[in-house]
Amino acid sequence: MTSTPGFHTEHMWKWSLTSVGVNLLLGIPAVVPVWLLWYFAANWPLAAVGWTQRNPTENDGMLPWFLVGAPLVVGFTLLWWLANRPVRRRIPLDSPLYWPISALVALVPTFALVIVSVLVP
């Protein structure tokens, strides 16, 4: 692995591990907005095209999504972006590659919970 001028390989590994740690820690509270996005998608757009069945008790309309769901998702996304900006500046990795990798690392706790919920009866 080559290092960029002024950047030692050990510093790159340190910041890479910092990035993974930050995104894994942020992934724990990210379970809530990811679940809200799935719940919304499963009850409205995916149910409208017939891919899922709508929850029969979901009759509140869109107001709760505008008052709670959207601010929660936007707030978490802003927090994730603000936490990753300083780390991103210190890692010699292209921006188009850093952001998707960081998002996938932040989704690891959600994927782990999905796998556990499928495997444990």
Please, which pLDDT band fits residue 113 given cuts at 50, 70 and 90?
very high
pLDDT tens sequence across 18-31: 889 999 999 999 99
The structure tokens listed for 111 are 């994927």
Average pLDDT (109-113) is 96
Residue for token pair 């910092």: 18
Weakest mean pLDDT among 6-15, 20-29, 99-108: 6-15
**Which of these, 14, 1, 23, 2, lies nearest to 91 by C-alpha position?**
14
Share of the chain above pLDDT 90, in %: 52
Q: What is the pLDDT of residue 12?
A: 63
Please, which pLDDT band fits residue 79 given cuts at 50, 70 and 90?
very high
Q: What is the pLDDT of residue 9?
A: 63
Please, which pLDDT band fits residue 90 given cuts at 50, 70 and 90?
confident
pLDDT tops 90 at residue 103: yes
pTM of the model: 0.79
- Summary mean pLDDT of the chain: 86
Q: What is the residue extent of each domain of the chain?
A: 31-119
Whether the CB-CB separation of 101 and 88 falls below 8 Å is answered with no
